[in-house]
Amino acid sequence: MRIRTLPSGPEVRCAIHTDRRIPPTGIGDLAGWCKGSLAAYAFLSAVQAHAAEAPADANVPQLDATTVSPSRYETSIWETPAAVHVVGPEAFDAGLGVNLSDGLGSVPGVQVQNRQNYAQDLQIIMRGFGARSTFGVRGLRLYVDDIPATMPDGQGQTSHIDLASLERIETLNGPFSALYGNASGGVIRVYTAAGEAPPSVSFGAAGGSNDAFRLNLKAQGARDSAHGLQDYVLGATHFETAGYRDHSRARRDLANMRLGFVLPDDSTLKLVGNWVDVRALDPLGLTREQYENDPWQAPLAEQYNTRKTVRQGQLGLVWDKSLNADNRLRLMAYGGQRDTLQYLSVPPAPQQNNPGHAGGVIDLGRRYGGAELRLTSVQQWLGRDAIVVAGLAYDHMVDDRRGYENFVVENGVTRLGVRGALRRDERNTVQSLDPYLNVSWWLTPRWTLDLGLRHSTVRFSATDHYVAPGNVDDSGQTRFSAWSPSAALRWQATGDTQLYISAGRGFETPTTTELAYRPDGSPGLNWDLQPSRSTHWEIGAKQRTPGGGLATIAAFRIDTRDEIVNAGSSNGRSSFRNAARTRRTGVELAWSQPFARHALLQMAYTWMRAEFRGSTPGLAFGHRLPGVPQQSAYASVAWAPERGWQAAADLLYQGNIEVNDANSDAAGAYALLGLRAGYVWDWQDWEWNAFVRLDNVLDKNHVGSVIVNDANQRFFEPAPGRQWVVGIGGTWRF
């Protein structure tokens, strides 16, 4: 993890005030929270046992000194009253370096399921949010260099993230995530490293199992001048693989740019841009019998030649201006286009027999953009420091969605996996407008109160251009709005111990993809689907440990009504409905500890019970939410001096995952061992590094992810056995 100096002056932790009464808790719940608080304090006290308290002004490098921005203002992990964690670029160095799943295993409360399917992207789950997604990311907010990677309707993608240029990844769980508005069950923020002197060019190459190959190039640098271009980073990555399973070959090309400027008025401007081209075959899921007999097979995918092509390009800018010593203005603006062409495995008969069927080929052209204006002000309230952040965010997207049959009939012969007749032609528009106000107020030197409020308005509209006999006009519009309040109280119990409690309310609208199909199969958009609303509680503690380590624990409870759940998935197409109520309760623990000068120990554990509550047809009370593991754990030890030999070992455990609402089947638990070794050396003007990595060393059979509620019971997406990667890279500084 990269250590950075904390910004001068008071640092900010912002949360949101609630103007509604807290729902009463029963005696059992109260007792549980009290026990959780005592357990948290006991755990952290045990970690710190026999350690002398460090002086308040001790200048000792610490892991928690890394700056983060959970409340839209830079602060430290230590002083943030929330479950926030940071992952540095070293987590992705020894590997293929193309998947977030390679480096986020150390974050409690976060599971990144690698589908081994680049046509559907990763499945990211944070405290159970995102588990329903059959492709892309749902229920979470993603940002890349402060530019939203989540659309205003709540669906996001990770394919344009350039891990070769990474500085850090921040993750945020709990009530604080409500600060980000719609679909913020959790937040992931990715940052490209700023250029620095001396300038350099670098390359990296890696290859491994399944004919996987990655090549990346990067140029970076910084200028010492008062105005104009200050720093730059330019990167490009090519990746390809034959895939672990049959019919899973993929190729991805990516370019990324970050430019930093100082303007004549001494304001700063960050210009970021990226482009990605993905072409991937889709192996689809397997039934239990298929998985156990031959996990490599993809018979239906080969029959229909299921595949996906994605091309996306976007530009964004972030402008910062100090108005005076106490006030700062920021403007963010961005725009882009994403074109997707996907071939599904929908049989011809349903398309031929139903005039309202949308076909088996999705052709989606998306244009999107937005802007955010924010003012940060340092003030004095009753003689105490306070920082106020006020802002207004606007986002929009326009989808031109066409559907075609995935077959043609020529001379009485049906050819599958080709584009046929037009069956759908509509334009979907989504707009969101979010004013917000956050306050961080130092009540005393040891007590801090964070308050705030955000109001989100999301408008959906659809214009149907394909109206035919049996296919009615599906045009329509709807509007969702909600207040998202939260609050946090932090107490610095000692120089090395922080305790906090927080609460918040969030909401999540359905995405345009989730509105696209009705559960009963009838034509038209699913306008009956409503947004979900959730109430979050969290109590936590953070403990500095000798040698610059940090231990954290967080206990949480999340009650959700009208949760959006999967009503069924069939042949690559999913429909959704609302559940009456769900509940998530859990505990997250993490410990990062440097030792022996160049060594680092990391441990993380998550226990969570996510279950249906209330009464909804087909959703039994007490059944677990499908797609959500009840337990996960991670441990690693690494030896990483700047030069010479490096080595590491890691162990990842994940509990079983239910595959459907009935809990009739599950993907089994597994534990995976990984080993890596490398060597770093200098030669002339170059710094060189070479590495080798083994994953799943013990060759365990396991399921990487599941397709929730698949109507044909093709729930399982198998993961590979033992895998290897070797790589080499070099950097020339001039």
Q: Is residue 656 assigned to a domain? A: yes
Q: Where are the beta strands (DSSP E) in 596-685?
A: 599-613, 631-639, 644-654, 657-658, 666-667, 670-683
Q: Is residue 22 assigned to a domain? A: no
**pLDDT at 23 > cutoff 60:** no
Distance from C-alpha of 237 to C-alpha of 214, rounded to nearest angstrom: 7
Helix locations, 432-578, DSSP H? 512-515
**Residue 7: band (very low, low, confident or very high) from pLDDT cuts 50, 70, 90:** very low
Residue 678, number of CB atoms within 10 A of its CB: 21
Q: Is residue 550 assigned to a domain? A: yes
The pLDDT, as a whole number, for residue 709 is: 87
**Residue 571: band (very low, low, confident or very high) from pLDDT cuts 50, 70, 90:** low
In SS3 terms, 350-382 reads as HHHHCCCCCCCEEEEEEEEEEEEEEEEEEEEEC
Q: Is residue 674 assigned to a domain? A: yes
**pLDDT at 16 > cutoff 70:** no
Which of 546, 554, 438 has the alpha carbon at shortest distance from 498?
A: 554
Number of domains in the chain: 1
| Mean pLDDT rounded to a whole number for the chain | 87
The pLDDT, as a whole number, for residue 8 is: 31
pLDDT (tens digit per residue) in 644-661: 999 999 999 999 999 998
The pLDDT, as a whole number, for residue 570 is: 62
Q: Is residue 356 assigned to a domain? A: yes
Which of 255, 306, 245 has the alpha carbon at shortest distance from 281?
A: 306
Q: Is residue 7 assigned to a domain? A: no
Which of 596, 597, 688 has the alpha carbon at shortest distance from 643?
A: 688
- Indicate the residue type of 133: S
302: enclosing H helix or E strand: helix 299-304
Distance from C-alpha of 139 to C-alpha of 503, rounded to nearest angstrom: 18
Question: Looking at 12-21, 530-539, 591-600, which range is the least confident one?
Answer: 12-21
Residue 306 sits in a domain whose CATH number is 2.40.170.20
pLDDT (tens digit per residue) in 589-609: 999 999 988 999 999 999 999
Residues pairing with 371 in the sheet: 333, 394
Q: Is residue 719 assigned to a domain? A: yes
Contact 330, 319 (CB under 8 A): yes
According to DSSP, residue 38 is labeled H
Distance from C-alpha of 530 to C-alpha of 514, rounded to nearest angstrom: 11
Residue 134 domain boundaries: 27-733
Q: Is residue 15 assigned to a domain? A: no
